[in-house]
Amino acid sequence: MKLSMKKLLPASVIAIAALLPFEAQAHRQWLLPSATVLSGSDTWVTVDAAVSNDLFYFEDFPLRLDGLQVTAPDGTQVKPENTSTGKHRSVFDLNLTQEGTYKIAVVSDGLFANYKLNGANKRWRGDAQSFAKEVPADAQDLKVTQTQNRVESFVTRGKPGTAALKPTGQGLELAPATHPNDLVADSAARFRLLLDGKPASNVKVSILPGGKRYRDQTGEFNITTDADGQFSVKWPAAGMYWLGAEVTDAKASLKPATERRASYIATFEVMPQ
Amino acid sequence: MRRLLTVTLTGMAAAPLAGTALAADLSVKVELPQLSVAEYHRPYVAMWIEHADQTPVSTLAVWYDGKKPNAEGTKWLKDLRQWWRKSGRDLTVPADGITGATKVPGEQALTFTDGKAPLGKLAAGDYQLVVETAREAGGHELVRVPFTWPPKAPATASAKGEHELGSVTVNLKP
């Protein structure tokens, strides 16, 4: 089966929007593969997908999988198996039939509106098609923002590959210089942040280690991309890490948005030496 | 392992060595400790040579379960995580003269000859012999023994693991 993402996208936007309180900035979306470095012939990974404050605990909302796109090492799309969405998390299995690197992504592109109606503040989320139907024509102080979100993780069976890592050129994306499944504690990894396929300079990238429940501090650290959108991360210890960045600009492509907010999130596994 | 190695070495003997002095030898003794644990599985072991800066040179031996149907034993090769990252994932297993069955606790001895597979022709310089081990439902350990090649005189160097490996001894013979 070939997944038609275009058709599925509006549903995903609504589903994610319904789950995310508008003020809940700290709620982080994430994908968590059971393993990221694998060997063997009949190889499977299972992936948790959730939205939570603390990483990586599925204790708040599931991440809806409508916008799920899994790219195989040869660039083709893979159909996830045993997909289910529960109270606190979504989950799916991937059969890694090919050697190389798979990109797992949950992608959405929708609209968010703020307006006043009869003096009351209103908020709305949805897709471009439903905007005209659902947002009243007489809405006052209307501000519409396009939201482009991409949540990713990577798994490799055998020798790492790069074909699946190719950016789409839309929204905020990561172009790894260091392979995302080749990350080791105490060593540096280099990445480039791209906005619509071009270097995203001077953007704050936030990084948090997992395991928050068993320590006091979040462990968050921030890095700013350079003029070429590049940044380097020195992983303080082995473990799972969450990386997030967001850009706001006036380059909205969905009407009638005047502003665009693009976000990128990825989960990386850092191995011990 | 022994049998495979012999076959390989014999095969390589045809290489023109006439006129050169006797090739230097590198022998390794690895001690796999007897562990008193409820569930014991023989460890997976990788042995390789790397430069002083830890970049890999050549894999000398890999002991894993190659007898399981459908190559199921390859699932845990990645647990030899440093070897896997540096060169294991580039190696097709089984690899003649390199891979062999897992070993029982005790001492294992292997000898490698300069200019012959799997050691190959080692350029003069500082190296480390690395032994990495990973045991199902058990621990992981890695031991490095530095040495200089080629040896001018017979030399011995060794290091000791704490949990999963006993002594690892390298003997060099000019």
DSSP B116: B
Residue B21 pLDDT level (bands cut at 50, 70, 90) = low
The distance between the two most distant Cα atoms of chain A, rounded to a whole number of Å, is 63
pLDDT digits (tens, 9 = 90+) for A131-188: 989 999 999 999 999 999 999 999 999 999 999 999 999 999 999 999 999 999 999 9
pLDDT at A84: 97
Give the per-residue pLDDT at A1. Answer: 41
* B contact set with A (CB within 8 A): 70-72, 74-78, 81-82, 84-85, 88-90
Answer yes or no: are the C-beta atoms of A171 and A195 closer than 8 Å: yes
Residue A25 confidence class, pLDDT cut points 50, 70, 90: low
User: Contact A36/A148 with Cβ under 8 angstroms?
Assistant: no
Q: Which residues of B touch A42 (CB under 8 A)?
A: 70, 72
Alpha-carbon distance B65 to A40, whole Å? 12
Question: Across the interface, do B75 and A273 touch by the CB < 8 Å criterion?
Answer: no
Q: Which pTM was predicted?
A: 0.88
Q: Do A37 and B81 touch (CB under 8 A)?
A: yes
Of B70, B78, B82, the CB nearest to A41: B70
| Contacts B78 to A, Cβ<8 Å | 37-40
What's the sign of the alpha-carbon dihedral A46, A50, A53, A59? negative
Q: What's the mean per-residue pLDDT of chain A?
A: 92
The burial class, CB within 10 Å (0-12 / 13-18 / 19+), for A28 is buried
Name A197's Cβ contacts closer than 8 Å, sequence gap at least 6.
A167, A168, A169, A170, A173
Among A26-30, A145-149, B6-10, name the one with the lowest average pLDDT.
B6-10
ipTM computed for the complex: 0.85
pLDDT at A7: 42
Helix (H, G, I), strand (E, B) or coil at A241: strand
Contact A39/B74, CB-based, under 8 Å?
yes
Burial (0-12, 13-18, 19+ Cβ within 10 Å), B98:
buried
A-chain CB neighbours of B74 within 8 Å are: 39-41
> Residue A188 in contact with residue A137, Cβ under 8 Å?
no
| Rounded CA Rg of chain A | 19
The chain B residue lying nearest A37, using CA atoms, is: B78
Q: A184 vs B78: CB contact, 8 Å cut-off? A: no
Burial (0-12, 13-18, 19+ Cβ within 10 Å), B68? exposed
Q: Do B85 and A182 touch (CB under 8 A)?
A: yes
Residue B37 makes CB contacts below 8 A (sequence gap 6+) with B138
Q: What angle do CA A111, A229, A203 make, to 5 degrees?
A: 55
DSSP H helical segments within chain B, as ranges? 2-12, 81-86
Residues of A with CB under 8 A from a CB of B: 37-43, 158-160, 182, 184, 271-273
Cβ contact, residue pair B72, A182, below 8 Å:
no
Which residues neighbour B26 within 8 Å (Cβ) at sequence distance 6 or greater? B111, B112, B113, B114, B119, B129, B147, B149, B170, B171, B172, B173
B interface test, pick of A37, A39, A178 with most B CB neighbours within 10 Å: A39
At B145, the amino acid letter reads: V
Per CB-CB distance under 8 Å, the chain B contacts of A273 are 82
Q: Using CB atoms, pick whichever of A41, A159, A271 lies closest to residue B89.
A: A159
**Residue A270: closest CA among chain B residues belongs to which residue?**
B81
Contact residues on chain B for A238, CB-CB shorter than 8 A: none
Cβ neighbours of A97 in B, within 8 Å: none
Round the CA-based radius of gyration of chain B to a whole number and report it. Answer: 16
Report the chain B residue with the minimal C-alpha distance to residue A271: B81
Q: Tell me whether the omega of the peptide bond preceding residue B94 falls within 30 degrees of 0, making it cis.
A: yes
Q: Range of B87's domain?
A: 5-173
> Which pLDDT value is given to residue A231?
98
Cβ partners under 8 Å of residue B24, min gap 6: B113, B114, B149, B150, B151, B172, B173, B174
Q: Give residue A101's identity as a one-letter amino acid code.
A: T
Q: How far apart, in whole angstroms, are the C-alpha atoms of residue B84 and residue B81?
A: 5
Q: What pLDDT digit, counting tens, does each position of A197-242 carry?
A: 999 999 999 999 999 999 999 999 999 999 999 999 999 999 999 9
Place of tokens 């022998």: B27
- Partner-chain contact A39 B70, CB within 8 Å: no
Distances (CA, A) of A108 to A30, A64, A70: 14, 10, 14
Distance CA B138, CA B102 (A): 15
Whole-angstrom Cα distance, residue A36 to residue A112? 34
Please report the pLDDT score of residue A4 as a whole number. Answer: 44
**Residue A39's closest chain B neighbor by CA?**
B75
The number of helices, as runs of H, and strands, as runs of E, in chain B is 2, 9
- Interchain CB distance below 8 Å, B74 and A272: no
Q: State the Cα–Cα distance between residues A189 and A230, nearest whole angstrom.
A: 11
Inter-chain residue contact A37 with B76, CB threshold 8 Å? no
pLDDT of B93 > 60? The answer is yes
Domain count, chain B: 1
Query: If you write DSSP's letter for every residue of B8-54 in order, what string do you get?
Result: HHHHHTTS--TTSPPPPEEEEEEEE-----SS--PPEEEEEEEETTS
Among A41, A158, A182, the residue with its CB nearest the CB of B71 is A41
Poorest-pLDDT segment among A129-133, A172-176, B58-62, B124-128 = A129-133
- What span, in angstroms and rounded, lies between the C-alpha atoms of A29 and A35? 18
